[in-house]
Structure 1
Amino acid sequence: MSMVKNILLATGLSLFSAAAIPAQAASPTIEVEAGMFGGTLYNLSYALSEVFKTQHPDIKLVPVETTGNAAGIIKASASPADRLVAGSAIPLQEAIQGVSPFPKKFEKFRFVAGACVHAETLITLDPNIRTLADLSGKRIGLGPQPSMQGRTMWSIMRDSIPGSDDMKPFWMNWSSLKDSIIDGSLDCMVLGVGIIPDDHWQPVSVYAEIVASRGNPHLISFTPEKLAEAAKRDGFIYPPLEIPANAIAEGVPAEPVLAWSEQLGFYAFEELPDEVAYAVFKTLYENGEELRKYTPDARGTAPETVMPPKELPDSLIHPGTLRYLKEKGLR
């Protein structure tokens, strides 16, 4: 047999052998639409991606910054099989109903896992501002306009501020909010505070820099009546939540403050593979301690904060998550 024939034969055998070996399925890479950099959702997304490296090495999570829940959901809709959204319950309802800013009803958008419960409040360093009414004509910093800390917060607070129709809040990310409240270019800013059972509650990470630079802020209270009015007008539930005196630190707040609460967590379209949703819920439900190695924002991550709300029907829970809940007798 000639050298050429030997080469052709060897090549053919190699190709045949390669074809005979079944190709292994590529490990899925899931992009996490994680919200504002430095915020609780972004930090939790990062922690989850790190824990996945050891708990579920066959699935890669990649956190990406977005300008709020709605922006993340709309982005995920373009590639629903490989996108996870860090968000909250209100945008879930808005997306399914197709209310603005969503261009249509996203009827297959589902709950995957909770992560923590936040009190949504407002802070100021101005000693002359003590109530929402005192914010008339003031410079108010909120999250990006499409976000829960942006558009939703403004919808809730505006009726309590005289002259709010002539006011426009500043829509900013956490870093810009922090810098602006410190240098005095803002009079008030939004603040998310994680509920930590039997311990001091955990504000978003920029709070520590504000305190270090300017001292303890004053927290501004909502009223039950205004929360109820906003909920009726917007068609959503804004559950009132009292932040107890000294909940954040000694003297912060100096007296109980009424905020509103929201469960933060992870959501996705039904097209996300069931095994991914299953792994996300399992990791958050079973490995809160591991998450806390990467961010203090996971201090509020516990089985009770990861569970879907009791009022949420099975039809709005991702099938992968529902499988875990049924297997463990949790639903």
Structure 2
Amino acid sequence: MGYTMKSVITAGLLTLGIQAAGLQAAQAENYSLMSAPFGSGSYVLGSALEQIVAANHPTIRISHSESPGFAFNHMLLQKEPEKRKTMIIGSGRAISALAVRGEPPFKEKLPPVKALANYNLGSNFLATLDPNIKTVADLKGKRVALGRPTQINWTLQPEKLLRVGWGLGKDVNIQFLGTQEAVTALLDGQVDAAVVGGYFDPLSQQMELSPQTTEFVAGAGGRAHFLEWGEEAVIKTDTAGMPMAPITIPGKALPTGQDLEGFADTISWTVSDEFPEEAAYEITKLIIENVDKFSKYHALGKLMSPEALTYGWKPEEFHPGALRAYKEAGLIK
């Protein structure tokens, strides 16, 4: 059988293509991401990160999956230490501090994590339909629905604010129902107040309410009332060991139209200090360069900006690779 020059060249190019594809596959760097429950803003933005990295990096790939919550993510790194070199987890400053100290919901001290980037700031507060409940102090002896026991922003921080920040101790009946279930219970009259909230950008002063909160406002029919924590209670709670920062959410960002003194906590992508420095650098660099694209995936992406990626963290709290990317971008000096 004879061979033409064209067939030889075609075969050669095909061989080179196969070899190149094999080489690229061999060089692929696979990492995983555990974010938060399915359907949450954290989950959607985690999926966005997976897709943005795949579309903009030749070898790094992130496989994203849901998790029960940030506390679970930290415990997973403790139980499976081999994942510390390959896994990104959803976390934040508050839950990270509790994990390192071994305080509830953790039963032992866990390895520290380092920040890659914020994707939001969480702010949660209480809502009620009872016009006689005007402040948190009026919840003495009342039923208050929070999220699941291991959730930081929806449960642990509000519980600490109630019991310590406002000094209600055991004089408040707290029920751990879950984020959606808490709102449902409030609308059905089964509890007197419930945790709601959303995600806040202190730079633009914009807020996106969580889906449960939006549902509550719609179902309340104009009777919705939000209870502010107050700066004093937030500082008292922070001093007691539950990290949080006082903020004031402007009335223009809320359906009630009234300013609300509350707290903020970072909601971030973090990694173990064993995570490869070059991978942390490349992933963080991609986040910085494509931060405007997250808005295409979820409304919470509109709250993301280069400056907000580092908000609330000290330079030494970033992974060295991430810190290098921020310094190159001029976001950290």
TM-score band (shorter)? 0.7 to 0.9
Q: What is the aligned partner in structure 2 of residue 225 from structure 1?
A: 232
Secondary structure of the corresponding residue to residue 252 of structure 2: coil
- State yes or no: 1:184 paired with 2:189: yes
Alignment of 1:29-44 (within 5 A): 29-44=30-45
CA offsets, 1:263-289, max 9 Å, x none?
A: 211111022233432243223322232
Q: 1:328 to 1:225 in 2, by over 3 A?
A: closer
Q: Which runs of 5+ in 2 are unaligned?
A: 1-18
The answer for the alignment partner of 1:6 in structure 2 is none
1:94 is aligned, of 88, 93, 98, to 98
Contact 2:124–2:262 at 8 Å: present in 1 too?
yes
Q: Given that residues 109 and 269 in structure 1 are in contact (C-alpha distance below 8 angstroms), is that contact kept between their aligned partners in structure 2?
A: yes
1:35-75 per-residue CA deviation (whole Å, 9 max, x = no partner) reads 23333322321222232231236333333333332211111
* Counterpart for residue 3 of structure 2: none
Partner of 1:297: 300
Moved more, 223-232 or 293-302: 223-232
**Cα distance in 2, alignment partners of residues 174 and 38 from structure 1:** 12
Out of 259, 281, 284, the residue aligned to residue 281 of structure 1 is 284
Aligned residues: 306
For 1:192 and 1:63, the matched residues in 2 are separated by: 25
Instruction: Quote the offset at 1:199 in angstroms.
Output: 6.4
The CA distance in 2 between the partners of 1:112 and 1:192, in whole Å, is: 24
Distance 1:212 1:76, change over 3 A: same
SS of corresponding position for 1:246: helix
- How has the CA–CA distance of structure 1 residues 129 and 295 changed in structure 2, closer, same or farther, with 3 Å as cutoff? same
Shift of 1:226: 2.1
Question: How much is the aligned-residue C-alpha RMSD, in angstroms?
Answer: 2.8
Q: 1:243 aligns with which of 229, 239, 249?
A: 249
Deviations 1:139-181 (A, max 9, x none): 2222221221212220112246676415442223333233333
The answer to whether the 8 A contact 2:32-2:86 is kept is yes
Deviation at 1:125, TM superposition (A): 2.6
- Provide, for residues 307-331 of structure 1, a one-character-per-residue CA deviation record: whole Å limited to 9, x for no partner: 2546x242x3212212212333433
The answer as to whether partners of 2:137 and 2:168 remain within 8 angstroms in 1 is: no
TM-score by length of 2: 0.80
Amino acid at match of 2:70: N
Q: Which amino acid aligns with 1:266?
A: W
Helix, strand or coil at the partner of 1:99? coil
Task: Report what 1:121 is aligned to.
Answer: 125
- Tell me the TM-score normalized by structure 1: 0.81
